[in-house]
Amino acid sequence: QVQLVESGGGLVQAGGSLRLSCAASGRTFSSYAMGWFRQAPGKEREFVAAISWSGGSTYYADSVKGRFTISRDNAKNTVYLQMNSLKPEDTAVYYCAATSYTPRPEIREYDYWGQGTQVTVSS
């Protein structure tokens, strides 16, 4: 089993940057692909980015491509989401999740979820 705890959220002005972290417990972290998702008020949870177990493959939603970067450090059991050029529409609760499959955008394929961290971008 994997437990996930996100951190790094906060309030930032449009155009600013934040780096989210997701710390995982368990010795098998490196065997899971990881994903970041977000959910804005009144909207469904949506895919943001995913990374393979080795970190060699990454995937992004079109809405964040070129602005966000996902990475991982298996020695630290941590996955990151660097968010640059933030926009008000990026405001949401951000969740990290782990999947035993290859990295993918489908929410239902993720086995473990964190509690989320709030990101608010002011205009």
68-101 pLDDT, tens digit per residue, is 999 999 999 999 999 999 999 999 999 999 999 9
pLDDT of residue 118: 98
Q: Which residues of the chain have pLDDT under 70?
A: 27
pLDDT of residue 29: 87
DSSP, collapsed to helix, strand or coil, labels residue 31 as helix
Give the single-character DSSP code of 43: S
pLDDT of residue 26: 78
Give the span between the Cα atoms of 47 and 33, in whole angstroms: 14
Residue 82 class from Cβ within 10 Å (0-12 exposed, 13-18 middle, 19+ buried)? middle
Give the span between the Cα atoms of 34 and 12, in whole angstroms: 25
**AA identity, residue 104:** R
